[in-house]
Amino acid sequence: MKQRLPFTFVFAAFALFLLLGPLKPYLVETASLTPFYADEFTFGKLLGTHGGLLFQVAAGLQSCFARPWLGASLFVVVLAALAYVQRWAFRVGDRWFGLCWVSSFALLASYTQLGYLIYPLKQPAVAFAPALGALVAFALIGLWFRLKHWWCRVMFLLTVPLAGFWLFSFWGAFIAPFVGFVEVGRLHFNQTESPSSGQKHIGRQPFFANRASHLLWGLALFIVGLLLPSLLLFVLHRPLDVEVGHIPFDSLASSMRGPAAIALAVPLFYGIYHLQGKRQWMTAVAAVVFAASGIVVYTHSFLDSNFLNTLQMKHSAEAGDWNQVLKLARENEPEPTRAQVCLTRLALFKTGRMGDELFAYPDGSAAYNAPQQNQWLRLMIGPLLYYHYGKTGFAYRWAMEDLVEYGERPAYLRYLHGVARLNGEEALARRYERTLARTLFYKDVCAHEEAEATAIRPLMNFTDQLDGDNGMVEFYLLNSFALSEGGSRPMVELSLMNGLITKNLSGFWPRFLALLPTWQGHIPTHYQEAALMVAQLQGAPVGDLPIDPTIRQRFQQLVEASARMGDNAANAAALRPQFGKTYWYYYFFVDGLKTN
């Protein structure tokens, strides 16, 4: 016991640090992508499919990630229980106990390494389902070893794998091939004990008499332990299937590392089983493996700064905390992805600071640290952006498309509900409310909706048309506003700003002049900058424009500095410190951003 506790504490501390530290927003996002509905209706449906019980329980536990401390604690408890159950199942001595944590580390990594893949993975509980499944598998193995009578074993074999498969998918049936190999191996290596006398030895002493038999036996178990579950995963375990585009197989394989590692643990324990003893080096080896596992988990966890920052921004946006979104945008150090840029711009619009600060915030088009670049913005924040910009048709469409593809995730239901309310479809909104009411943590997810709707409705003052966005959310939004005419005041301002962003200045003056009376003395900085620049480009007089003298002066400085310097690249580098946060700089020097 004394030797076990340190491992337990270290594992728990490490896992909690990882999950509640950098990965906290990832946990929250995972919960919103976990379809768990606590009612007889769903439970009955899930029990009608193989593995239904496992996925239902696992999804229930995983939805607790919505309260990160609760979900993380539950996850750590399950992973720790797994280590103890392995120890119990294989009667691993305390000196080797450190090895029992390898599977737990592997399962932890199988979740923490997913990153962007959390969106297209269809398995309803990517974190908990393999962990609980492995727990069941090892518990059944332990139970098998402890059955005393041959008839108990026969009954066990006749009933448990079948029922196990139904309730826990292949994890519940794993015992069948495992026992098959144990018995075949026993016969092969002339283990002549009768079942009754054999029981005395099972689990208490090595099965085999010599080193060669250990090697062969380890190999056999390795094959059955690794290949069989892998095969079953592919053939039977459809929810693991990745359906978005052609994500490379490596990504799918990486999500299987955890289960595969558990399977590896089976031969590992058999391989080391006979090495019982009191030698200190055993403990040292176990400790080293334990520590190495922790390091591997940390280094393989997806701690991509942009990804985690995007999630934090998204969650702040969904909570209506737009200032926090901007704070997160400012604090992010690497070049942002378009998703971060879009969230920043939305927050600037929501806080009324778009005209003054938009070009002062980090811009960029850093690649998403994942394959299939063009889908992540849509999958992460597509419905959110469309919803807040009043493009209700596409907000509903993408939330529904994703619901169809990936299941009834609360993340989609909130936007389906929001759009239904905006559309005045009260009965439809109530249907989604009823569904959300059955979740553990998303009952009040639409609490901010009325305030949101007040801000969104003025953006819906446009003529309906049939259209398509081909999943290019940012591109569509930019152009739909940049090319629109009229509408409410916020729509005209979005038209003005998106015209500036897309460098389409053809509609600048009508929009600028329409908005001029509404600024009540203070024309936002970027619009002043743009007015000066556009007037200059078009040779129009600017003397009558209410432009701040400081801005006029800076513009003159820019013109003079540009004239003094060399090529565009040199100018861009030299002028960035002084003018990098102006629209002028954006217009003349920022090119090639991939909008989406």
**Six token digits for residue 305:** 């700064």
> Could you say whether residue 242 binds other proteins (CB under 8 A)?
yes
Beta-carbon contacts of 381 under 8 Å, excluding residues fewer than 6 positions away, are 310, 314, 317, 339, 342, 343, 473
Task: With contacts defined by CB under 8 A, name the span among 293-301, 335-343, 361-369, 395-403 that binds other proteins.
Answer: 395-403
What phi and psi, each to the nearest 5 degrees, are found at residue 242?
Answer: -105, 125
Considering the complex, state which of residue 75 and residue 396 has its C-beta at the smaller distance from other proteins. Answer: 396
Q: How far is the CB of 84 from other proteins (least distance, A)?
A: 37
Considering the complex, state which of residue 280 and residue 463 has its C-beta at the smaller distance from other proteins. Answer: 463
Q: How far is the CB of 545 from other proteins (least distance, A)?
A: 35
Q: How far is the CB of 223 from other proteins (least distance, A)?
A: 26
What phi and psi, each to the nearest 5 degrees, are found at residue 121?
Answer: -70, 130
Considering the complex, state which of residue 310 and residue 375 has its C-beta at the smaller distance from other proteins. Answer: 375
Beta bridge partners of 121: 242
Task: With contacts defined by CB under 8 A, name the span among 37-45, 350-358, 517-525, 538-546 that binds other proteins.
Answer: 37-45
Considering the complex, state which of residue 38 and residue 545 has its C-beta at the smaller distance from other proteins. Answer: 38
Q: How many CB atoms lie within 10 A of CB 367?
A: 12
Could you say which DSSP state residue 459 is in? G
Residues 247-306 that bind other proteins (CB under 8 A): 247
> Could you say whether residue 404 binds other proteins (CB under 8 A)?
yes
Q: Where are the alpha helices (DSSP H) in 147-210?
A: 150-168, 170-173, 175-188, 195-198
| CA–CA distance, 295 with 5 (Å, rounded to integer) | 20
> Could you say whether residue 69 binds other proteins (CB under 8 A)?
no
- H/E element, 62: helix 52-62
Residues 420-439 that bind other proteins (CB under 8 A): 420, 423-425, 427-428, 430-431, 434-435, 438
| CA–CA distance, 9 with 379 (Å, rounded to integer) | 37
Among 193, 241, 485, 560, binds other proteins (CB under 8 A): 241
Considering the complex, state which of residue 465 and residue 518 has its C-beta at the smaller distance from other proteins. Answer: 465
Q: Where are the alpha helices (DSSP H) in 224-300?
A: 228-236, 249-255, 257-273, 280-300
Task: With contacts defined by CB under 8 A, name the span among 85-93, 133-141, 464-472, 494-502 that binds other proteins.
Answer: 464-472
Under a CB-based contact definition with an 8 Å cutoff, are residues 456 and 422 in contact? yes
Number of residues that bind other proteins (CB under 8 A): 46
Q: How far is the CB of 240 from other proteins (least distance, A)?
A: 10
> Could you say whether residue 589 binds other proteins (CB under 8 A)?
no
| Binding characters for other proteins, 472-511, by CB under 8 A (x = yes) | --------x-------------------------------
| CA–CA distance, 281 with 285 (Å, rounded to integer) | 6
Beta bridge partners of 242: 121
CA separation, residue 277 to residues 3, 195, 404, 478 (Å): 15, 27, 56, 70
What is the three-class DSSP state of 121? strand
> Could you say whether residue 47 binds other proteins (CB under 8 A)?
no
What is the three-class DSSP state of 203? coil
**Six token digits for residue 415:** 């936007």
Among 88, 462, 475, 519, binds other proteins (CB under 8 A): 462
> Could you say whether residue 401 binds other proteins (CB under 8 A)?
yes
> Could you say whether residue 41 binds other proteins (CB under 8 A)?
yes
> Could you say whether residue 391 binds other proteins (CB under 8 A)?
yes
| CA–CA distance, 219 with 523 (Å, rounded to integer) | 76
Q: How far is the CB of 246 from other proteins (least distance, A)?
A: 7
> Could you say whether residue 403 binds other proteins (CB under 8 A)?
yes
> Could you say whether residue 63 binds other proteins (CB under 8 A)?
no
Q: How far is the CB of 6 from other proteins (least distance, A)?
A: 44
**Six token digits for residue 166:** 């139904």
Taking the CA atoms of 179, 184, 188 and 194 in sequence, report the sign of the dihedral they define: positive
Under a CB-based contact definition with an 8 Å cutoff, are residues 512 and 493 in contact? no
| CA–CA distance, 457 with 482 (Å, rounded to integer) | 19
Residues 315-374 that bind other proteins (CB under 8 A): none
Task: With contacts defined by CB under 8 A, name the span among 193-201, 315-323, 367-375, 456-464 that binds other proteins.
Answer: 456-464
Residues lying near other proteins in the complex (CB under 8 A): 37, 39-42, 238, 241-243, 246-247, 391-394, 396-397, 400-405, 408, 420, 423-425, 427-428, 430-431, 434-435, 438, 460, 462-468, 470-471, 480
